[in-house]
Amino acid sequence: MSKDKLVITTVLVQTLILLLISNQILTSDNLTNLKDSIPYINLVIVGLSILSIISIKNIDKNARYKIKAMMLKSTLTQVEELLRALQMQRHEYARHIETVQALVELERIEEAKHYIEGITESYWPNYEYIYVDNPALATLLNTKKAAAEKQGIDFAFAVKCELDGLDIPPWDLCSIIGNLLDNAIEAAMEDEQNPRVAIEFTYSDDSYYVYIFNNGYPFPPEAKFYEPGFTTKGSNGRGYGLYITKKLVEQYNGEIKISSFKKGTAIYLNFPSRRIKDDSGYSTKYCQEIG
């Protein structure tokens, strides 16, 4: 039996027991037997209540795991698309190199030069991979950039510091950033003329700062961003991304803030840098900001 059905069943059983007790009180002239059984009935009700509470907590926990799994699945799908594109480019490079090598071995140098010039003019990789010193984050950012640009969105990202001191496991970091970028890309698409998304990583005062911006429509003033189920799309099964993201951010002692403007929305994250020990003792200055 699923946990959802278990909770419904326990609540219905509790209700049935209370109805039976009420009916017995109303219809019976002799309540002695009922009074004798009250302690056992109370014990059953308490047991069912505890079971319901445990089941409800498990449902919430499973829901969060499902949302995280969906976010990771989406990211992995996009990573697979990027890898396929890179593999295709690698295949093309290998074919061109083999041709140039054959021409050189045949000492047909002029033809080889002409071939190389033709490649330079007519063939150029349609994707520029930007390096970031965190491999998982680098893959995520480049994948999101490629996906956004396919939809006509101007996507810019800048990592202005080393990320060695960002003490968050790659899978949780990608869940946080990936979910926020998915929301930003979706919101930016509302601007049909010049959709834009930007993300920037900086470091100062022993903390990492992440800034994400999109120029889509702003959130309404009364928006309750982090409540489970909140969504501006009006569809079921959505609205848990920011709820899960906030939980993850707080899990690593970080903070998240959302600001909406007349045109666009900005998200601010900050995380403390982990402490490292060197020969002179502990240092919290883990990386120097790159201008």
pLDDT over 60 at 238, yes or no: no
Residue 70 covered by a domain: no
Same domain for 139 and 257?
Answer: yes
Check: CB of residue 151 under 8 Å from CB of residue 187.
no
52, 152: one domain: no
Report the alpha-carbon distance of residue 130 to residue 123 in Å, rounded.
19
Name 134's bridge partners. Answer: none
Cβ neighbors of 264 (< 8 A, separation 6 or more) are 213, 214, 215, 216, 218
Residue 130 lies inside a defined structural domain of this protein? no
Find the CATH number of the domain harbouring 206: 3.30.565.10
What residue has token string 């491999």?
135
Q: Are residues 219 and 265 in the same domain?
A: yes
Question: Which residue from 202, 204, 169 is spatially nearest to 284, judged by alpha carbons?
Answer: 204
Contact 197, 184 (CB under 8 A): yes
Whether 288 is covered by a domain: the verdict is no
Q: Same domain, yes or no, for 51 and 154? A: no
User: Among the residues of 106-169, which ranges form H helices?
Assistant: 109-122, 135-150
Same domain, 218 and 276: yes
Tell me the pLDDT tens digit for each residue of 135-186.
888 888 988 888 888 889 999 989 988 888 888 988 889 889 988 998 899 8
Backbone angles phi, psi at 191, to 5 degrees: -90, 105
Is 201 a domain residue? yes
Tokens matching residue 231: 């969504």
Give the domain extent around 18: 3-65
Q: Are 138 and 131 in contact (CB under 8 A)?
A: yes
Regarding whether 172 and 225 lie in a shared domain, the answer is: yes
Over residues 69-91, the pLDDT tens digits come to 776 676 677 667 667 766 776 77
Q: How far apart are CA 239 and CA 18, in angstroms?
A: 36
Are 40 and 172 in the same domain?
no
* Structural domain total, the chain: 3
Q: Is residue 118 domain-shared with residue 190, that is, in the same domain?
A: no
Task: With a cut of 50, say whether residue 234 has pLDDT above it.
Answer: no
Angular region, 154: left φ>0, alpha ψ -120 to 50, beta rest: beta
- Distance, CA of 44 to CA of 13 (rounded, Å): 10
Domain match, 251 and 271 both = yes
